[in-house]
């Protein structure tokens, strides 16, 4: 297929590479052209319209709903009659529905679970909702970027709602890992022992070891920027309030990531939330 990727940051670049590896013809566009030009094997377009023209599937992987809506008119104007708009950015259910209105019946709500390495490995989990025909038509692209697809229904916005529930868990796990490692350290215990203690037990999770290692090693690698987590948790708070759901834990979690950002760690990996616990 001819696949277009709009947005070649950490996630978009990985997805473009996965599409290339599976034999697709890949065209990319990014507001900062230099971030697109470093991806070997792709065609770098000079505009959104140029990138979208002739595409079978157009993937948007941008920062937020405002970023997607900023290119929507140009994208839709160049979208072919049978082309699918695969909207993978984390925009929340309201954002997804607003985007869907720009191209009714043409948008598949398809946010993804995973960070840099799963994107590069084609191992993302795709959460999808929207018309069944669009899901079927975009299947080759979905299989290239993801290890599996979780179908959330036929309404645009349902997959984005599920994405918020999943990312709430990720944010809480990351902050909780930082808290436990920091508490052990403050109490005079080697924090590595926390990870050893939970290893293989009922409360163990691979994610604690991945992020825990990044925290303990002071890794500079960015898989998911802390500011991106703050944006996502803000969407969770907004969605929870709109649904009349208690947001106490979400607002506390957001406060921890805000505190780390205020300490100058916003562009670092989300593991930098450890700064909220003064370590």
Closest alpha carbon to 30 in 51, 15, 14: 51
Helix or strand holding residue 99 (H, E): helix 92-102
pLDDT for 201 equals 97
pLDDT for 68 equals 98
Structure tokens given for 227 = 């500011």
When pLDDT is averaged across residues 19-47 and rounded to a whole number, the result is 97
For 151, the 3-state DSSP assignment is strand
Rg, C-alpha atoms of the chain: 19
pLDDT interval class at 247 (50, 70, 90): very high
When pLDDT is averaged across residues 114-121 and rounded to a whole number, the result is 96
Q: Over 158-225, what HEC string results? A: HHHHHHHHHHHHHHHHHHHHHHHHHHHHHCCCCCHHHHHHHCCCCCCCHHHHHHHHHHHHCCCCCCCE
d(CA 155, CA 132): 10
pLDDT for 16 equals 98
The mean pLDDT of the chain is: 97
pLDDT for 53 equals 98
Counts of helices then strands in the chain (DSSP H, E): 13, 9
Contact 126, 112 (CB under 8 A): yes
pLDDT for 192 equals 98
Closest alpha carbon to 122 in 19, 225, 8: 19
- Sign, Cα dihedral of 232, 274, 247, 162: positive
d(CA 265, CA 260): 6
What digits encode the pLDDT tens for the residues 190-214?
Answer: 999 999 999 999 999 999 999 999 9
What digits encode the pLDDT tens for the residues 64-93?
Answer: 999 999 999 999 999 999 999 999 999 999
**Cβ count near 169 (within 10 Å):** 12
- Sign, Cα dihedral of 140, 141, 145, 151: negative
Please tell me the total number of residues recorded for the chain in this structure: 279
């Amino acid at each position: 297929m001819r696949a277009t990727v709009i947005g070649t940051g950490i996630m978009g670049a990985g997805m473009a590479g996965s599409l290339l590896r599976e034999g697709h013809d890949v065209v990319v566009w990014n507001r900062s052209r230099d971030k697109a030009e470093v991806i070997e094997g792709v065609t770098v377009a000079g505009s959104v319209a140029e990138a979208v023209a002739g595409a079978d599937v157009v993937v948007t992987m941008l920062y937020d709903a405002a970023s997607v809506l900023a290119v929507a008119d140009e994208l839709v104007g160049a979208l072919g009659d049978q082309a699918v708009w695969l909207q993978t950015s984390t925009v929340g259910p309201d954002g997804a529905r607003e985007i869907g209105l720009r191209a009714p019946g043409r948008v598949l709500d398809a946010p993804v679970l995973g960070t840099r390495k799963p994107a590069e490995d084609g191992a993302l989990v795709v959460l999808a909702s929207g018309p069944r025909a669009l899901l079927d038509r975009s299947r080759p692209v979905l299989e290239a970027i993801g290890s599996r697809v979780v179908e959330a229904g036929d309404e645009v916005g349902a997959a984005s709602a599920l994405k918020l529930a999943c990312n709430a868990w990720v944010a809480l796990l990351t902050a909780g890992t930082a808290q436990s490692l920091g508490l052990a350290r403050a109490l005079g215990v080697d924090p590595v022992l926390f990870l050893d203690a939970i290893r293989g037990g009922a409360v163990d999770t691979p994610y604690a070891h991945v992020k825990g290692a990044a925290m303990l090693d002071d890794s500079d690698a960015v898989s998911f920027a802390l500011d991106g987590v703050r944006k996502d948790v803000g969407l969770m708070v907004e969605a929870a309030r709109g649904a009349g759901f208690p947001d106490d834990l979400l607002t506390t979690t957001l406060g921890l990531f805000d505190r780390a950002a205020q300490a100058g760690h916003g562009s670092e990996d989300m593991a930098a939330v450890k700064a909220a616990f003064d370590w």
